[in-house]
Amino acid sequence: MYSASDMSPDEPDNSVFPELEVENLILPTSKLLKPPSEAIFRKQYTFAKKRAFAIFVHSKKAAASGAELSSGDLEAHWHCCEQTFKEAASIHKHVAKTHDAEIQEHTIAILRLVGSRGQARDSQPPAQSPVGEKREAWDVSLWIPDISHLTEDQLHRGPGEVLLYYCYCHLETPHLICAWQRELCQKLQLKGKVRIATEGINGTIGGSKVATGLYIKAMLSHPIFKIMCHNDFKTSEGGAHCFPDLKVGVFKEIVPMGVDPDLLSYRLAGTHLEPEEFHKEVETFLLKGNSSNDTILLDCRNFYESKIGQFTKCLAPDIRKFSYFPDYVDKNLELFRGKKVLMYCTGGIRCERGSAYLRSKDVCTEVYQLKGGIHKYVERFPEGFYQGKLFVFDERYAIPTSSDIISECRYCGTPWDQYQPCSTDFCYQLVLSCPACRQQGHTACCFVCQGKAQRKEEAGENTPAEPLLKEECECTDTRARVPCDTLPQACLQTH
C-alpha cells in the first residue's frame, strides 16, 4: 500500500484531513456486511472519499524532468486540465472544485472493493484462511517491482527502447490504475504517454531495456492485465530521450476517436489477421490488379503518417486526426458498400475502434484488421508490401522499415521523409524540408507560415507580433476536414 511518505505531498496531510490514516486503508469490513447505522455509514464514506481524493491528486503528480533531476530541483508539482499547480493547496482546491463527480465515482468504487473483500474473508472458515492473504489489485505498491538489487547504471544506462502497447479490458477504477502506472513509470524513470479509461489502457513509453523489461514484467504480473502476453508489447530502438516527459491520465477513450465507448464497444471490431494472413490477403489483392474492385486496403491513420509510409495500392484518407475517421466513413459509405475491407494502422489500436465503427454501418461484406499493426507486419515481412517509414508519435517522428522513400521535400521535391515541426510560433504542423532547403530558411510547413516568420524577423523583436493562431495556415485552409474519396482513384494510387 501507499505509505505516508509515498503519498506526501500529493495526499492531503493530517492538518487538512486529521482523520485520514494513509497507511491503513482496511476499513472495518465486518460492519459493511450488516445494514450500517447512519453514523457508521458516514464514517466509512468519509474515509473512502478522503482516500479517493488523495489517490486522484497523486495521479496528477508530474514526473521530474531530466533537467530537474540533474539540478536537484525536485519540488513537487501537478498537471491537471492543462494547468500546472506548484502548491498542494492549489491542486487540492482545483480537484475539489472541478472533479467532484470523478471523486464520487472513485469513492463508491473503493467502498465496493473493500466491501467485496470483507464478504470474501467472512465466507472462509478461519482454519482455511491463508497466512499471507492476497492483496487487492488497487494496492499499488504490490505491483511495483523491487529494484534494490540493481545499480543506477544497470537500470538507467545502456541500450534503450520504446514500447508500444494497448489492452482493451474493463477497468472499474481507472484512477487507481493511473496512480499505479504513474508510480511504476517514475520508479523506472520511463517517459512517454499512458492513456487509461474504463475500456482499457494504451501506452507508448521509453527507457533503458532493463527498465522496459521490468515494466513489461510488472504489467504481466498484474491480475487485470494477465490477459496480455509479451508479444503484445511492440518494441523499437529509442529510449526515454524520445519523449519530453511522462504523461499518465484518465480519459473517456484510450484512443481518441470521439465516439462514446459505451455506445460503440471495441468488442464489435473486425476479424483479426496475423501478419502472415494479412500478407496473403494483400498479395491476392495486388495480383488482381485494377480488377480488384471487391476489396479495399484501408489505412486508418492520419495523412501525415501515410504520406511517408503505406501499403502498396491502399486507400489513405486525407484526414488530420483519427477523430475525423467516423465522419470520413459516413461521408464515403457508398465507397465501402459491398466491399471486403482490409484495415491497418500503426500498432492495431485504431483498427479496433475504426473497424467496429465501419461494421456498425452494415455496408461491408467483411472487415479484417492487421493484428499488431504495421509494427508486427514489418518485423515478419521487412521486404513485404509496406513501403517507406513508419510514423510514430514521439520525437523520432519515424522509424525505418525499409530503404524506400515515398515522400518528397515540401519545397524542392527531392525525395525526403524526415519530419520536423513547423518553425512558426503556434503552428503544430509537421514539415518535410530537406537539408538544402532548411539551410535556405525553408523551415515552415507552408509559404503562409514562412511569410509570417519572415515578417516577424523583419519587424524586429521589439515590434508587437501579429496574432498567430494555430490553424491559420495554408496546410489547413486548403485541406477538406473530411474528404470525399472515389474508389478508382484510390485503388489506382501507387507510391
- For residue 143, the model assigns a pLDDT of 83
Q: How many residues does the chain have?
A: 495
> Is 437 marked active-site?
no
Assign 81 a pLDDT band (cuts: 50, 70, 90).
confident
Q: Residues 167, 345, 351, 475: which is the catalytic one?
A: 345
- For residue 396, the model assigns a pLDDT of 95
Report, as an integer, the average pLDDT of 299-328: 95
pLDDT tens string 104-130: 777 777 776 665 545 544 445 444 333
| 271-305 residues labelled b (16+ CB within 10 A) or e (exposed) | ebbebeebbebbeebeeeeeebeebbbbbbbbbbb
Q: Which residues contact 482 (CB under 8 A, 6 or more apart)?
A: 319, 324, 327, 328, 331
With 80 as the cut, is the pLDDT of residue 363 above it? yes
- For residue 448, the model assigns a pLDDT of 82
Percent of the chain having pLDDT more than 70?
Answer: 75
Report, as an integer, the average pLDDT of 147-152: 87
Assign 446 a pLDDT band (cuts: 50, 70, 90).
confident
In order, the DSSP letters of 240-258 are: GGGSSSEEEEE-S-SS--S
Judge if the upstream peptide bond of residue 130 is cis by omega within 30 degrees of 0: no
- More confident call, 463 vs 243: 243
pLDDT tens string 278-302: 999 999 999 988 767 899 999 999 9
CB atoms closer than 10 angstroms to residue 146: 7
With 70 as the cut, is the pLDDT of residue 217 above it? yes
With 80 as the cut, is the pLDDT of residue 87 above it? yes
Report, as an integer, the average pLDDT of 376-396: 96
- For residue 113, the model assigns a pLDDT of 65
| 435-454 residues labelled b (16+ CB within 10 A) or e (exposed) | eebeeeebbbbbebbbebbe
pLDDT tens string 409-430: 999 999 999 999 988 877 878 9
- For residue 492, the model assigns a pLDDT of 39
Assign 331 a pLDDT band (cuts: 50, 70, 90).
very high
- For residue 28, the model assigns a pLDDT of 40
pTM for the complete prediction? 0.70
- More confident call, 124 vs 60: 60
Query: What mean pLDDT, rounded, does the chain reach?
Result: 81
Assign 7 a pLDDT band (cuts: 50, 70, 90).
very low
With 70 as the cut, is the pLDDT of residue 196 above it? yes
Report whether 339 contacts 359 (CB < 8 A).
no
- More confident call, 16 vs 287: 287
Percent of the chain having pLDDT more than 90?
Answer: 53
- More confident call, 14 vs 121: 121
Residue 413 bridge partners (DSSP): none
- More confident call, 156 vs 476: 156
Q: Select the highest-mean-pLDDT range: 83-87, 89-93, 265-269.
A: 265-269
Assign 9 a pLDDT band (cuts: 50, 70, 90).
very low
Cell representation of residue 45: 464514506
Radius of gyration of the chain (CA): 26
